[in-house]
Every structure is written in structure tokens, then in C-alpha cells.
Amino acid sequence: MKLYIETVGCQMNELDSELVVASLRKDGYELTNNPHDADTILFNTCSVRQHAEDKIYSALGRLKNAKREHPNKVIGVLGCMAQNHQGIIFKRAPYVDLIVGPGQLHQVPALVRDIRAEGVTRTQRMEVSLGRNDGSRDQIERSHESFDPLRDPAMRPTPYQAYVRIMIGCDKFCTYCIVPSVRGPEQSRSPSAILAESRQLAAEGCREITLLGQTVNSYRFQEGDRQWRLSDLLVALHDIEGINRIKFVTNYPKDMTNDLLAAVRDLPKVSKYLHIPLQSGSNTVLERMKRGYTVEDYREMLLRTREWIPNVAVSSDFIVGFCGETDAEFQLTMDLVRESRFKNSFIFKYSERPGTKGATLYADDVPDEVKRRRNNELLALQNQISEEDNHAFLGREVEVLVEGPSKTAEKASAADSEAPATASGPIQLTGRTHCDRIVVFDGNPRQIGQTLPVTIYDANAHTLFGEVVTRHSGVELFTLSVTKRSEPASQKEALSILK
Ligand code: 5AD
Ligand code: SF4
């Protein structure tokens, strides 16, 4: 049987899809890239912005005829939009068979099995978790289950990288955000489960793990009389042989404690890269967003972070055009971005989410063209900063974990099926530095998964371009590009520098 799955949204969703695929594989499914070939079609959805939901409804619309022609196909909507819209999805797309919220995904294989057994006379199934006001904290928590032990390497970003969930849910209730409603209460996973899963991933060849949580640095787990924090977890994970890099996303600014900063500074495997969303540079907007900190608090946190961790790269998220945002308030965001020098920022136009405090309390009154203009203005500023900071890497050597063929190499190999990306000849590769900067360089497919020294010779806002450094007996002789061999003159030059 064939499964087609489409995933939108955050890394949490990507991980959820990996787990769903793993569980369906146990039922004999294999993946297909073509929805028309598939016996079961699943959409793992996102509700953070309206646009993400609209895209799923259009994708469902395109399946209407396919379902009429092949009524045995199972069509399912999973994830945040399933929890958010529930039965509305059946109303808008009556041919959908299955709706499963993010806290109920462990039920997917049994539900698909039951639906298939019923044939064309099937009844629709919906499994969602309790809403935030539909029971006691304990009941609501238990209705949000995650089933992390099953993994599927084919669904990972690369065979060398994997996500590991350390907590689910969120209790921060920022007024714009739907996540606390759809992903339920904040719950941390036990350190023993996290360590066991990470050891297993290392044994399977994973070199980099990214710990996931909506507010990952709020992690707390009480084990007897010991309380585990994220910093304790990092120390324990650091001992796992085979894991070379540890990252974690996303951080909540108020929980950036010194024990965590010390762990990032002192543990060599932990990336000196921190994603700490600021959202706005105006105190009045932050107040309306109920982010729980002021600009002054954030600035203190950022200074402290940079003091504790030299060369740390910090990135951020921003929402422009939040309810009532004036030009003056927006300019405060511009000022703070200019001052903060983030490595990069993800910038979003505010999208009103029914059911959030923001939608009830405030009018979505910033016109779309103003949101668009502010988005472009902030993006241009951030790009200028990113480019300037990337230029500081020119001539420097960085350590790159090689992820795979670059986008250009992938396109070339797709256009020319005679030269697949897995061939052994030279190829453009992409990878990331320890501080999460993207590096493109010429290399060889067998270098994928390795950590290599690369010297940077060019840079733009998003990418560093480099050449692999070749060393002999631990002594650097010269830099050698695999496709363009260095000129003898430059080799001599490099040798004379060594003398
Ligand atoms: N509208 C626009 N952006 C949003 N985000 C969260 N909710 C909304 C919304 N309603 C952004 C925040 C968050 C990122 C994941 O998505 O910046 O950090
Ligand atoms: Fe949403 Fe705020 Fe929780 Fe992040 S911290 S998931 S923005 S409610």
C-alpha cells in the first residue's frame, strides 16, 4: 500500500510526520511522491497563520475528483488545523475520511485500518484532544499524547540530522498565538526517554540532533528530588558518542537563564546558535502581545548572552502589523533590529487567529499593504545586517557539517537524470557551520555527513561560499577545491607561509 504525506509548518510537524510514517510503515505502507498513486493521502497541517490553512483547503479541493474516481482512497487531515477546525473540515471537504489532532496521532494506523476495512460505506472518523477549558489540567494533559519512540529515517532532514522532542505544548498564551490551544498544555518529556531516543539515533548514524519544544528552554522535569533543566539535559546528551552537534529551538526570552548560557558556552558539541524570538521592538506592542518581557529585559538578555558566549549567533522572529501597531511602534522594531544584529530573522505579517485573546481583545486594523511594506522594510534591514556579518567570515576557516547536494546541484541532477546527485564525481554541496550559517562549496558526495574545514571566499546575506581545506599529517598545506584545482603558484604561496 502507498502513502502520500504532505507536511506544512514547523519542525514539530516534520517530526510528527516522521512518526506517523513510521507507524504506517509497520502496517505495510510505503511512501510515494504522487498523490494519484496513493491509497492513503495525509496532510499534516499548521494553524499559525491563515495562509497555511487556506493552502490545505485548496489542496483538499484539488482531491475532490480523485476521490470521486477512487472512492477507496483514504484522505486524512492531521495536526494543528485538524485540532483547530475539527468538524468544519468535514463540512468544507465532505470527502475527507479522517481528522486527527496533533495529540492523537498515535491513533492514525488503527483509524486508517478501520476506515479501509469498511470500504466505500465508511464513516468519517475524528480524534482530537480536549480544548483548554474542557476538563481538569490533568485530563487535558492526558488528551495530548505524543508517541516519540517510532522513527523513520527516510523522513528526516538528512540521514545525519534528526529532531528530538523534549516537550510538547505551550502555556505562555501570547495573544496572537493559536499554539497553546491546538498543542495543549506545556509538558516536558522524561530525560531517560530523551536520552534513549538520542542514543538510538546516534547508533543509526545521526550526527546532529535538534531538540524541539515550543519554548524549549522552559524545559523542567522532576525526577525524584532532582529537577532537570535544559542545561542538565545538554550535559547528559553531550556524552553520547556519535552525536557531534546539538541544537535546540525555540527559546523563550524570559527563560534564557545563566545555567543554560554556561552549558552552551562550555559544551563543545552544542551549537553557538540561539533562536530567541523578540516579536516586536515596542513595549506597548509587546504588552498587547502579552509576551511577558519588555524591550529592556530582552536587551539585557541579549547582552548577557553575548557576554557569556563569545561569537554566539542569535536569530529572531518578528510579527509586523500586529493589532494597533503604529508607524512609530514599527520604527522602534527597526531600531532594535539595527541595534541587535541578529544573524537572521523570520518576519511575518500578523494573521488574526480566531479563538486567541488577540482576536477577541483587539481589531486586526493594520491594512495589508501597510503590513507588507513593514515586512519588506524590516527584511531589507535584516538582510543588510546579515550580509555585513557574513562578510566578516571572508578568508576564515569554518567547520561545516555537510548536509547534501546544494539546491543548484539538485536542480542540475533533476534536469539531467544521467548525472544523479549520488554519483561519485565533484558536486556542489551544502552544509552548516556550528553557528548555523549555510555554506556552499564544491566537494564529493562521499563527504555528505562529515564535518569538514572550509575556507570562505565569498558571502551574501544568506550563504557563505567556500573551499574545502585539505590537510596532510595534521598540517595545513593548501586549500584545494575539488573541481577547480589550486594553481601551483598559490600552493607554493601556502607552503611558504608555513615555513
Ligand atoms: N500571525 C503571524 N505570525 C505569527 N506567529 C505566531 N502566531 C502568528 C500570527 N497569528 C509567528 C511568531 C512565531 C512564529 C513561529 O510565527 O513570530 O515566533
Ligand atoms: Fe505561541 Fe507564545 Fe507559546 Fe511561542 S511562546 S508557541 S508564540 S504562545
Atom of ligand 2 nearest to the CA of 183: 6
Using an 8 Å Cβ cutoff, are 217 and 204 in contact? no
Same domain assignment for residues 361 and 491:
no
- 158 with 303, same domain: the answer is yes
205 shares its domain with 66? no
pLDDT class of 373 with cuts at 50, 70, 90: very high
121-178: pLDDT as tens digits: 889 999 999 999 999 998 999 889 876 667 887 888 888 999 999 999 999 999 999 9
**Confidence check: pLDDT of 486 > 50:** no
Helix extents (H) in 283-367: 283-289, 295-308, 327-340, 357-361
Average of per-residue pLDDT across 380-392: 98
Q: In terms of domains, do 411 and 380 share one?
A: no
* Mean pLDDT across 213-222: 97
Average pLDDT value over all residues in the chain? 91
**Are 399 and 371 members of one domain?**
no
In the chain, the number of structural domains is 3
DSSP 122: -
Ligand 1 atom 16: the closest Cα is on which residue? Answer: 48
Q: Please tell me the predicted confidence (pLDDT) of residue 413.
A: 73
Dihedral sign computed on CA atoms, order 430, 431, 433, 437: positive
366 shares its domain with 462: no
- Ligand 1: residues with CB < 6 A are 48-49, 176-177, 277, 279, 317, 319, 348, 350-351, 353
Q: Is the pLDDT of residue 270 over 70?
A: yes
Q: What are the pLDDT digits (tens) for 321-343?
A: 999 999 999 999 999 999 999 99
Q: Global pTM?
A: 0.91
Model confidence at 21: pLDDT above 60 = yes
User: For a pocket test of ligand 1, which of 177, 217, 316, 349 has the largest count of ligand atoms closer than 8 A to its C-beta?
Assistant: 177
Ligand closest to Cα of 170 equals 2
Q: How many C-alpha atoms does 371 have within 13 Å on its Cβ side?
A: 18
Q: Say which DSSP state 487 is in.
A: P
Looking at the structure, tell me whether residues 347 and 464 fall in a common domain.
Answer: no
Residue 6, domain CATH: 3.40.50.12160
Percent of the chain whose pLDDT exceeds 70: 92
| β pairing state of 226-229 and 98-100 | unpaired
Long-range contacts of 26-34 (CB under 8 A, 24+ apart): 26/109, 26/150, 27/1, 27/109, 27/112, 27/113, 28/1, 29/1, 29/2, 29/3, 30/1, 30/2, 30/3, 31/2, 31/3, 31/4, 31/5, 31/154, 32/2, 32/3, 32/4, 33/4, 34/4
Residues 49 and 186 in one domain: no
Instruction: Please tell me which residue, 47 or 485, carries the higher pLDDT value.
Output: 47
Phi and psi torsions of 45, nearest 5°:
-110, 165
Residue 488 has pLDDT above 50, yes or no: no
Cβ-based burial of 381 (10 A; exposed 0-12, middle 13-18, buried ≥19): middle
Q: Distance, CA 453 to ligand 1 centroid (Å)?
A: 36
Point out the ligand 1 atom lying closest to the alpha carbon of residue 317. Answer: 17
Residue of minimum CA distance from atom 5 in ligand 2: 172
Q: How much is the pLDDT for 247? A: 98
Give the span between the Cα atoms of 89 and 321, in whole angstroms: 29
Q: Which ligand is nearest to the CA of 358?
A: 1
The set of cell numbers assigned to 37 is 498513486
Contact 471, 452 (CB under 8 A): no
The 3 state secondary structure assigned to 454-485 is: EEEEEECCCEEEEEEEEEECCEEEEECCCCCC
**In terms of domains, do 365 and 399 share one?**
no
Which ligand number lies closest to the CA of residue 169?
2
Query: Do residues 338 and 418 both lie within one domain?
Result: no
pLDDT at 424 over 80: no
pLDDT digits (tens, 9 = 90+) for 281-334: 999 999 999 999 999 999 999 999 999 999 999 999 999 999 999 999 999 999
Helix, strand counts (H, E) of the chain: 18, 22
Which of 46, 84, 171, 215 to mutate for ligand 2's pocket (most ligand atoms within 8 Å of CB)? 215
**Residue 48 Cα to ligand 1 middle (Å):** 6
Amino acid at 81: M
| Smallest-distance ligand from the CA of 366 | 1
Residue 47 is which amino acid?
S
In terms of residue numbers, what domain contains 246?
Answer: 140-388
DSSP codes of every residue in 418-466: TS-TTSSS-EEEEEE-TT--EEEEEE-GGGTT-EEEEEEEEE-SSEEEE
- Residue pair 115/73 in contact (Cβ under 8 Å)? The answer is no
287 CA from centroid of ligand 2 (Å): 14
What pLDDT, on a 0 to 100 scale, did the predictor assign at position 491? 33
Q: Looking at residue 457, what is its pLDDT? A: 98
Which of residues 136, 154, 174 is at a domain's end?
Answer: 136
Q: Are 162 and 199 in contact (CB under 8 A)?
A: no
319 CA to centre of ligand 1 in angstroms: 6
Same-domain pairing of 343 and 217: yes
Q: What is the pLDDT of residue 63?
A: 95
Cell of residue 338, nine digits? 539595527
Both 242 and 255 in one domain: the answer is yes
Distance CA 160, CA 237 (A): 16
Q: How would residue 461 be classed by pLDDT, with cut points 50, 70 and 90? A: very high
Instruction: Give the CA count within 13 Å in the CB-facing half-sphere of 270.
Output: 24
What's the CA-to-centroid distance between 142 and ligand 1, angstroms?
A: 26
Average pLDDT over residues 251-256: 98
Task: Examine the fold and report which residue of 114, 136, 158 is the final residue of a domain before the chain moves on.
Answer: 136
- Identify the CA nearest to 464 among candidates 399, 411, 408, 394: 394
- The pLDDT score that the predictor gives to residue 149 is 65
> Which ligand 1 atom sits nearest the alpha carbon of residue 351?
1
Exposure class string for 253-265: b at 16+ Cβ within 10 A, else e = bbbbeeebbebbe
Q: Work out the end-to-end distance of the chain between its first and last CA atoms, rounded to an integer number of angstroms.
A: 64
Average pLDDT over residues 45-57: 97
Residue 214 Cβ inside 6 Å of ligand 2? The answer reads yes
Percent of the chain with pLDDT over 90: 85
Q: Which of 91, 121, 136 is the last residue of a domain?
A: 136
CATH label of the domain that carries residue 156: 3.80.30.20
Q: Which ligand is nearest to the CA of 9?
A: 1
Ligand 2 site, residue 276, Cβ cutoff 6 A: no
| Neighbouring residues of 497: CB distance < 8 A, sequence distance ≥ 6 | none
- Ligand 1 atom 14: residue of nearest CA: 317
